[in-house]
Structure 1
């Protein structure tokens, strides 16, 4: 189960009113995204492909793809304004206060160098350690992330290690500078179930031991349920719901979240029929008025298609939703199928 940090824990990351454009500013891909992550807290970003969750995380890391840019809003890591950083500022931040782990770890490691050398080199450059000190520290880190016989792993090349071992090496590299925030973007997607569970346990251990804040992107609600204290549900470039994990999964306040849960069917492994969400999300650049999920929503009513964007509003303590019918649907509870437009 997720480990909830104390409410008085300091804010590590604060994102406010984030808007990201693509195609050289001609198309809006992310709109009005605001959230915080506290020390020791894990926040999960979920949603369909193209929903804006990965672009949001890449803006926090300063690695947006060409043609993408932060058009509005702010993102602060502690007292550092990220959206104002230049190249040198990002270089000082990454690997020190900010770490990242991505899908397919082999693509982020040089196949012609041992993993130990690739881990030790940043320790020498960024922390000023001697060659022997960096080697000793690298071996300690490899052991800390659960790699057996870390002294031997230090001398291995990436092609000699399994995908799970490579992901642990990448995590060791990401936490080598003792960062305040770790961004994990689909970090367990390519791993088998057993190795995925081991990596998730490792992330939970690092949070508990180091007070590490974790921002986790995943399409797998079961992973988010296991690891995250809070969930942000993305749809068509917007956050449509957020709140404590257990509450959001037990009683979603937005029909899209409910639809995702039906598709995932967490815990219902005996189900034989595959549920799908009808229709498709809007393409990047499409900006439907009112609720962007209305065309796919079985509960949509005329007020859902107003000419004004739907704002995020409170939906209980610590929760927000972008649904204009949230109160009606909450009253209906499990009988939502009886609620009509």
Structure 2
């Protein structure tokens, strides 16, 4: 399906430049030299194995890094405002207004002793200055806008009375209540069954179209990213190894790791019976091998792949709309989802 991408002349809603994140009190660098942007109405997907740095990157944008983790270098700006320098009060003013978030387990973010309506209406009163009756009416409209049937009844329900899909919709309603510019969805559909997952993805697509919402989506599921996202950032061992329009990346991967992910996922190949795996394992957190960090797992690796101290993320394509961190990208002919050596 062809997508109409947001104009590149508009200033990005989110701009991340040269981001580095350390863990263990600064002893280990878990994210290195990450740069990307998200524009109004655009959806950008972050994919990669567990521990690749995609979730830490998103949590740094939300200001909710785990204890012992911190941004050691780089910049993250939301509509021009620097996020990395914000204190606790600054984050409190931003979250729920300019910035919304949806996570994997909605039940863990809702108070089981309060109705979902009260939890949705309270921020509207405190942050939005609405009266009790106005906040209630607004909350009911929000519950209806995310596809919940009989929102007046749902308003009075407790979290334990709702299904996982309904709870995720409540969390999305809470996230968009302040009409944010950016919504971060971290594995937001992982725990849902296939039908409910599709409904939530359709909802996110509709909210983007109706509100011009910028969406940053983290997922292990390439099929989800293929369905929702305009652009894909492929993370490996704490850095971006490929970045480009979704259709181009999925059809013609420019990095061997992306090709390996696609081979394992085998999107749309429902008749496959053998389980494909990527041999080897990612480097330990904090390890900094020279050159390409994927080299020891890559069937295309040569001596030059490990010869540089820091492998740059190079631009290519007609307008430089794609980037890859592979020194052999120019030597590899791209055919479908399989990389082939030229002349092989």
Alignment of 1:63-78 (within 5 A): 63-78=64-79
Aligned equivalent of 1:210? 211
Aligned equivalent of 1:112? 113
Give the SS at the match of 1:84.
Answer: coil
- Residues 1-51 of structure 1 show CA distances to partners (whole Å, capped at 9, x for unaligned) of 555323334310000000000000000000000000000000000000000
Aligned equivalent of 2:324? 321
Q: Does 1:18 align with 2:19?
A: yes
Aligned equivalent of 2:186? 185
TM-score normalised per structure 1 = 0.97
Aligned equivalent of 1:304? 305
For the 8 Å contact 1:332–1:339, the answer to whether it is kept is no
Give the SS at the match of 1:11.
Answer: coil
For the 8 Å contact 2:16–2:35, the answer to whether it is kept is yes
For the 8 Å contact 1:329–1:336, the answer to whether it is kept is yes
Task: Report deviation, 1:315.
Answer: 2.5
Aligned equivalent of 1:282? 283
For the 8 Å contact 1:3–1:41, the answer to whether it is kept is no
For the 8 Å contact 2:252–2:334, the answer to whether it is kept is no
Alignment of 1:165-204 (within 5 A): 165-204=166-205
Task: Report deviation, 1:330.
Answer: 2.7
In the alignment, the residues of structure 2 paired with residue 18 and residue 336 of structure 1 have an alpha-carbon distance, to the nearest angstrom, of: 30
Task: Report deviation, 1:314.
Answer: 1.1
- Residues 255-297 of structure 1 show CA distances to partners (whole Å, capped at 9, x for unaligned) of 0000000000011111111110000001101111110000000
In the alignment, the residues of structure 1 paired with residue 343 and residue 106 of structure 2 have an alpha-carbon distance, to the nearest angstrom, of: 48
Give the alignment's Cα RMSD to 1 decimal. 1.5
Residues 3 and 101 (structure 1), Cα distance of their counterparts in 2 relative to 1, 3 Å cut: farther
TM-score normalised per structure 2 = 0.96
In the alignment, the residues of structure 2 paired with residue 309 and residue 143 of structure 1 have an alpha-carbon distance, to the nearest angstrom, of: 50
Stretches of 4+ aligned residues off by more than 4 angstroms: 331-341
Residues 110 and 297 (structure 1), Cα distance of their counterparts in 2 relative to 1, 3 Å cut: same
- Residues 198-247 of structure 1 show CA distances to partners (whole Å, capped at 9, x for unaligned) of 00000000000000000000000000000000000000000000000000
For the 8 Å contact 1:299–1:339, the answer to whether it is kept is no
More helix by share: 1
Task: Report deviation, 1:340.
Answer: 9.6
Residues 193 and 302 (structure 1), Cα distance of their counterparts in 2 relative to 1, 3 Å cut: same
For the 8 Å contact 1:225–1:245, the answer to whether it is kept is yes
Task: Report deviation, 1:254.
Answer: 0.2
Task: Report deviation, 1:336.
Answer: 4.3
Give the SS at the match of 1:116.
Answer: helix
Task: Report deviation, 1:333.
Answer: 7.4
Give the SS at the match of 2:140.
Answer: helix
Total equivalences in the alignment: 341
Unmatched segments (≥5 aa) in structure 1: none
Give the SS at the match of 2:262.
Answer: helix
Task: Report deviation, 1:335.
Answer: 7.4
In the alignment, the residues of structure 2 paired with residue 23 and residue 193 of structure 1 have an alpha-carbon distance, to the nearest angstrom, of: 37
Q: Does 1:272 align with 2:260?
A: no
